[in-house]
Amino acid sequence: MESIKLEGTPKTPTVEFNSENGELLLKGRSIPENSIEFYKPLIDWIENYSANAGSDTILNVQLEYFNTSSSKCLLDVFKKLERISNPVTINWYYEEDDEDMLEAGEDYDAIIDIPFKMIEVEEI
């Protein structure tokens, strides 16, 4: 299975989904013109990956900002990850003064049956 690597833009996050080691990364800003169109290939990739997932899967979410339509798509990503039978961890990075991003991570943690690790950083 091929990995996905997308360079981030001012409106879309950097995406690195590595099928070899099970490390997935979303980093930057997520305010695409069409969130569903942007996230659909990622969700499809996770669905295919889940059939042959590695022993551990780690999603690192290092978003500095995401819009409302992206939040729904992120939830869809997390729901696909829930279906993986092997251990999955979501590392949710937030800047030290960004209460909104911390709360967003906590909200997802309350909804999704995957352990979230809240990781405070100085800058994303």
Here the CATH number for the domain that contains residue 28 is 3.30.750.24
Output the pLDDT for position 57.
97
Domain residues for the domain of 94 are 4-121
Measured at the CA of 72, the angle between CA 118 and CA 35, to 5 degrees, comes to 110
Q: What is the model's pLDDT at position 24?
A: 98
Task: Report the predicted TM-score, pTM, of the whole model to 2 decimal places.
Answer: 0.96
Q: Report pLDDT digits (tens) over 12-36.
A: 999 999 999 999 999 999 999 999 9
pLDDT value of residue 54: 84
Give the pLDDT confidence of 43-87 residue by residue, as tens digits. 999 999 999 898 999 999 999 999 999 999 999 999 999 999 999
Query: Structurally, how many domains does the chain consist of?
Result: 1
In this prediction, residues 78-104 reach a mean pLDDT of 96
Within 10 angstroms of residue 8's Cβ, the number of other Cβ atoms is 14
Nearest alpha-carbon partner for 105 in 76, 71, 79: 71
